[in-house]
Structure 1
Amino acid sequence: MTTSSSDHGVSLGMPELPAPDYPDGVRARLELDAREIIARYPDSRSALLPMLHLVQSEEGHVTRTGMQFCADVLELTTAEVAAVATFYTMYRRRPSGDYQVGVCTNTLCAVMGGDAIYSALQEHLGVGNGETTGDGKVTLEHIECNAACDYAPVVMVNWEFFDNQTPESAKRLVDDLRAGRQADPTRGAPLCTFKETARILAGFPDEREGAVDATGGAGPASLTGLRLAKGEKPAARVVHPRDGGPHDEPRSGTAANADVHLSSHDAPQDTSASDPSHPAGPAAEEGQ
Structure 2
Amino acid sequence: MSNTENLIKELVEKHGKCRNSLMAVLQGVVAKEKYLSEDAMKKVAEHMDVSAADVYGTASFYTFLDTVPRGRNVIRVCQTISCDMAGKDEIIEALEATLKIKVGETTHDGNFSLLVANCMGWCHMGPVMLINDDVYTELTPQKAMEALEKYVVSTNN
TM-score range, shorter chain: 0.7 to 0.9
Instruction: Verify the 8 A CA contact 1:106 1:145 in the aligned structure 2.
Output: yes
Taking only aligned residues, the RMSD between alpha carbons, in angstroms, comes to 1.9
Instruction: Verify the 8 A CA contact 2:90 2:141 in the aligned structure 1.
Output: yes
Greater Rg over alpha carbons, structure: 1
What is the percent sequence identity of the aligned residues? Answer: 25
- Where structure 1 has 5 or more consecutive residues not aligned to the other structure, the ranges are 1-21, 182-288
What is the 5 A alignment of 1:84-163?
84-163=58-137
Separation in structure 1 between the aligned mates of residue 12 and residue 84 of structure 2, nearest angstrom: 40
Letter matched to residue 109 of structure 2: D
Letter matched to residue 67 of structure 1: M
Offset at residue 62 of structure 1 (A): 0.6
With normalisation by structure 1, the TM-score equals 0.50
With normalisation by structure 2, the TM-score equals 0.87
What is the 5 A alignment of 1:7-156?
23=2, 26-38=4-16, 44-156=18-130
Letter matched to residue 163 of structure 1: T
Offset at residue 162 of structure 1 (A): 0.8
Offset at residue 26 of structure 1 (A): 4.8
Q: Which has the higher contact order (CA 8 A, sep 6+)?
A: 2
The Cα offsets for residues 175-226 of structure 1, whole Å up to 9 and x where unpaired, read as 3212207xxxxxxxxxxxxxxxxxxxxxxxxxxxxxxxxxxxxxxxxxxxxx
The Cα offsets for residues 81-123 of structure 1, whole Å up to 9 and x where unpaired, read as 1121111111111110122211223222222221111111111
Q: How many residues align?
A: 155
Letter matched to residue 52 of structure 2: T
Separation in structure 2 between the aligned mates of residue 61 and residue 142 of structure 1, nearest angstrom: 16
- Where structure 2 has 5 or more consecutive residues not aligned to the other structure, the ranges are none
Letter matched to residue 113 of structure 2: T
1:170 paired to 2:144: yes
The residue matched to 1:86 in structure 2 has which SS?
helix
Moved over 4 A (4+): none
